[in-house]
């Protein structure tokens, strides 16, 4: 994918500019570091970090792909779709598509995650139960730029894959730029 503009990134140390230096002390295992104590947990346990969408759209979309001409994958995907609806009824799950749609070059279905707790429960579960299927996890962000620019970045630069990466067709996004 061609780079449209040089991406910018917020400093990972924003808010910690005046913090004391971290200790170099090792934990009892001799490998990990001893971190400074804190009187509170990170807010990231309760709310997605900005610019992730904490609203109606949800912070993450999970696209679960299957090859529609592969009987075994189709059956597995259908069973997984049903299991997700039963195991996680609080999650929003969409149509079980039997053909490519949008930038997705093969059949798939989509699940939305609205909270860090849902993400933390669903993603490890899916790592084990996705079977032979590929999975795209991408953020939904509310930030400056055209809808196409934001979606392109979220589906590419910020995307995370489980299993084999399936190249997406970004033509629709690129034509809107």
What CATH number is attached to the domain comprising 166?
3.30.70.1240
- The token pair at 154 is 């979220």
Is residue 38 assigned to a domain? no
Average pLDDT estimate for 99-103: 96
Q: 159-170 pLDDT, tens per residue?
A: 999 999 999 999
Q: Does 23 reside within a domain?
A: no
Is 14 inside a domain boundary? no
What number is the average pLDDT over the span 82-92?
A: 99
- Cβ atoms of residues 112 and 58 within 8 Å: yes
Q: Residue 144 pLDDT more than 90? A: no
Ramachandran region, residue 139 (left: φ > 0; alpha: ψ -120 to 50; beta: rest):
beta
What pLDDT digit, counting tens, does each position of 10-26 carry? 899 999 999 999 999 99
For 34-81, write each residue's pLDDT tens digit.
Answer: 999 999 999 999 999 999 999 999 999 999 999 999 999 999 999 999
Which segments of 88-142 does DSSP mark as H helices, in order?
Answer: 116-129
- Determine the average pLDDT of the residues in 136-141: 98
* 30 within a domain of the structure (yes/no): no
pTM, full prediction: 0.90
């Amino acid at each position: 994918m061609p780079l449209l503009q040089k991406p910018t990134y917020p400093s990972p140390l924003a808010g910690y500019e005046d913090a004391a230096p971290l200790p170099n002390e090792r934990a009892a295992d001799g490998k990990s570091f001893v971190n400074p104590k804190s009187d509170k947990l990170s807010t990231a346990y309760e709310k997605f970090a900005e610019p992730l969408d904490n609203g109606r759209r949800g912070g993450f979309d999970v696209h679960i792909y299957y090859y529609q001409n592969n009987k075994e994958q189709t059956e597995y995907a259908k069973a997984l779709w049903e299991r997700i609806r039963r195991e996680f009824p609080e999650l929003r799950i969409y149509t079980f598509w039997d053909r490519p749609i949008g930038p997705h070059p093969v059949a798939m279905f989509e699940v939305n995650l609205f909270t860090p707790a849902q993400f933390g429960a669903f993603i490890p579960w899916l790592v084990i139960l996705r079977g032979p299927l590929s999975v795209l996890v991408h953020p939904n962000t509310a930030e400056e730029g055209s809808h196409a620019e934001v979606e392109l970045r979220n589906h590419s630069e910020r995307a995370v894959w489980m299993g084999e990466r399936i190249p997406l067709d970004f033509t629709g996004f690129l034509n809107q730029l």
